[in-house]
Structure 1
Amino acid sequence: MEPGKLKKDFYRTIENTVREFKMLEPKDSVLVAVSGGPDSVALVLLLIFLKPSYDLDIGIAHLNHLLRGEDSLRDEAFVRELAQKFGLPFFCKQKDVKSHAEHHRLSVEEAGREVRYDFFSMLSHDHGYKKIATGHNKNDNAELVLINLLRGAGPKGLSGIPPVRDNLYIRPLIRKTKKDILDFLKAEDQPFRVDASNTDTTYLRNAVRHRLIPVLESDYNPEIINALDRLSHILRQEEEYLDAEAQKQFESCLTIKDASFISFSKKKLSKLHPAMVNRVIRKGIGKVKKDLRRISLTHMEDILDFCFNRHSGTSLDLPGRIRIYKQKDTLTIKKEERPLREIGKLTKGGRI
């Protein structure tokens, strides 16, 4: 395709995506997460293109993970120069992600994501940015769907990457493939950085990207990226509906809500479909624990069994200092102040 037409079509698709998902409002301030790779660099160009239409205030944020020595420093320098080229505010932080991963018992990928989003959130709060733009694209979405499928995820996991999250994070490139983005940058004659670690297939995402998807494309479905993206869109719509219904039932079953615990009516829970009971209790755990990390399907099955089938036992322990208490008419989810083992020992000693 002729470069001029390619760029025009690309910009039009992004404009439509932004409009469809209401990603931007007039006079929005947008912090762009920029690694220096093709996706985030294209994102900068696109937001600069949209700046006059929305009267945007744009800033660039770069987190140096300190994982690749001199290459990491060159990435940082590249992004700084990109910000200077377009006269945009530049925010940078260096963080030893490997040490963070070891200290918090996370994978390097999990640790990187955690420190990046903490950094972006801090900048948003301190500098008044109302939106944080990330460069996730259609391939990223398809890869996440496959990864979650391999892990046995439910509908929420298979719904992929949302175009907008928490009315804060926006993904304008979510309808474009990696090839589309590379073709666009070539047409714009815009350089970018290449992260060599993206080819390291010891990381699951890279293995899915470089080994699994090519086989699926060549042997099963040449349109596998679009097929997985379509699946995620269908499931995301259904998940949004079910989540809204779960919120209604959550409020209906709720008897007491406190900062450290939530109580539900067992009678009202018992009248719900098991799938809805599962969603309501997960909401309760999420509100008390602040996340659902390490809460598995096995835990949820144990909770339902404990609540409705077991006659013995008054409490059930979950990760993150969460304890489920069962009374005659209520089920209480509480986050204890001390480790559960410590509480258990004290209880046996008769001091609680």
Structure 2
Amino acid sequence: MRDKIMTFINEHQLLKPYSTILVGVSGGPDSMALLHILKTLQQEWNLTIIALSVDHQLRGDASKTDLLYVQDMCEKWNIECVGTSVDVETYKATYGVGTQVAARTLRYQFFKEQMEQKKADYLALGHHGDDQVETVLMNLVRSSNPRTLSGIPVARPFSSGTLIRPMLCMTKNDIEAYCQSVGIHPRHDPSNDETDYTRNAFRKQIVPLLKERNPNLHLSIQHLSESLQADEAHLAIETENMIKQTVRFAENKDKAVFKIDQFKLYSIALQRRAYHLILKYLYNEVPNDLSYRHESIFLTLLNSQKSNSKVDFPRQLVLRKSYGTMTFYFWEASETFDGDIPFNIPGEVMLPNGDRFVGKVTDEPDKQTAQRYICHASQLSTPLHIRTRQAGDRMRWKGLNGHKKIKDIFIDAKVPHHLRDTWPIVVDGSGELIWLTGLRKNCSSAEDHTHGPYIQIDYFEGET
């Protein structure tokens, strides 16, 4: 196995001698095998190796024991180890995301901090060939974007250095056999045996069936992944060149204009990519509710015989076709919400741009999301109001010491300047800011109470 990984490292030029390499280590077989193999290279390659281990606090004492195990093995192998604990549950409640997303975000934040502090050249992670198979298959099922089929990259820029995955050429069985051969007794996470998570369902039920047909499926998928990544890299350069030739952006990147006839001289493959690149420039961070349906709308508008048309996209973005010209722009403040509207619960509020807030009282609230606010009724002072930001606005939330300025929240979330003054905020009867829509919530979670009533507010963006 070591020889195969060394060949893979050399083929992809993943490591250089005299480098500092951080290794993400959970205590499982993948990361322990990776750490051990890199340890065998340390003297020959003059590597500085530092293990990073994160306790996500999701399995109580077992999670803590995993961290202690990694620290103990690193001490035996004479490897520096930096461990930390992160609060996944608080992050989930604050941002309205799932467990896997919250854990990954906090883990990579820690990795980034350590890359900068240690001035490291590489971050090595233990993803293997079976992980690659699962990722490509999952993306195939849930996405219509061909770029997602490229899967997990072997290497990519990360923080001050490069993130590398030297074990994408190996299977899970290869790794477990290696651990056994060198006397490593890794930790086992029982959540990996469950099929509730999508990835585990693919791992346990689908991939084994495909491997019956092709035992080297991981190598085939890895070859596909690398081929697609190379193709995408070339097309990305061509798309950048197309954008330079056809699209004019406003100085602050809140508007893009192009001549339709000139744009359509390029292939449909580049047109699609140019569309996505324009959105990336305009939005800073493309909204989650932007889907393939919007791409279809854009292409239909582009090829329509109508001289004048207008289509609304998420976050107040407008596409306007007018006599051979296509313009992307954001609604002016005068076209969007700017005021203070009473919000009675139960009830509904419609904003000028078509966005809606729907509130209800319930004993069985739905699942918390970024577009949903849930709080025990006893924790809120009524009546509620929906308004835009005011000078000096601040918020507080669980896990935060004191208050934070709305301005700073917008900066952290990279919200474009032209959206900040019209961003809807839900305020309670005492003037407390309880929900900066889609970004921050100040509320007690449903789990903090044994029974209702709860107030649930859902936010719906205007129809496109």
TM-score for the superposition, normalised by structure 2: 0.66
Residue 137 of structure 1 corresponds to which residue in structure 2? 128
Q: Does 1:203 align with 2:194?
A: no
Aligned to 2:274: 280
What secondary structure, in the 3-state scheme, does the structure 2 residue paired with 1:342 have? Answer: coil
Correspondent of 1:191 among 185, 191, 198: 185
Letter in 1 for 2:352: K
Structure with larger RCO (C-alpha < 8 A, sep 6+): 1
CA 56–215 in structure 1, closer or farther in 2 if over 3 Å, else same: same
Q: How far has the Cα of 1:254 moved from its partner?
A: 3.4
Compare the two structures and name the one with the higher helix fraction: 1
Question: Is the counterpart of residue 27 in structure 1 residue 18 in structure 2?
Answer: yes
* Distance in 1 separating the partners of 2:294 and 2:92: 25
After superposition, residues 71-82 of structure 1 pair within 5 angstroms as 71-82=62-73
> Is contact 1:51-1:57 (8 Å) kept?
yes
| CA 62–257 in structure 1, closer or farther in 2 if over 3 Å, else same | farther
Counterpart residue identity of residue 300, structure 2: D
Larger deviation: 63-72 or 267-276? 267-276
| Runs (5+) with no aligned partner, structure 2 | 339-350, 355-420, 423-464
The runs of 5 or more residues in structure 1 that have no matched partner are: 1-9
Task: Tell me how large the CA RMSD over aligned residues is.
Answer: 2.8
Structure 1 counterpart of 2:292, from 282, 294, 297: 297
Match of 1:345 in 2: 352
Partner of 1:147: 138
Find the aligned partners of 1:315 and 1:77 in 2 and give their Cα distance.
56
Choose 1 or 2 for highest CA Rg. 2
- Alpha-carbon distance in 1 for matches of 2:169, 2:218: 11
2:39 matches 1:43 = no
Per-residue deviation, 1:172: 0.6
CA distance in 2, matches of 1:19, 1:293: 39
Distance 1:259 1:130 in 2: 34
| Contact map agreement 1:97 1:115 (CA 8 A) in 2 | yes
Please give the secondary structure, in 1, of the residue aligned with 2:337.
Answer: helix
Offset of residue 199 of structure 1: 0.7
Deviates more, 1:186-195 or 1:149-158: 149-158
Which deviations, in whole Å up to 9, do the C-alpha atoms of 1:224-244 show, x marking residues without a partner?
334333333332332222223
Of all paired residues, the percent bearing the same amino acid is 26
Deviation at 1:273, TM superposition (A): 2.0
2: distance between equivalents of 1:231 and 1:337? 45
TM-score with structure 1 setting the length: 0.85
Q: Distance in 2 between matches of 1:239 and 1:285?
A: 18
Change (3 A) 1:229 1:23: closer
Distance 1:337 1:265, change over 3 A: closer
Q: Which has the larger share of strand?
A: 2
- Match of 1:140, as an amino acid? D
Distance 1:13 1:324, change over 3 A: farther
Partners of 1:283 and 1:28 lie apart in 2 by 35
Q: In structure 2, what is the Cα distance between the partners aligned to 1:111 and 1:258?
A: 35
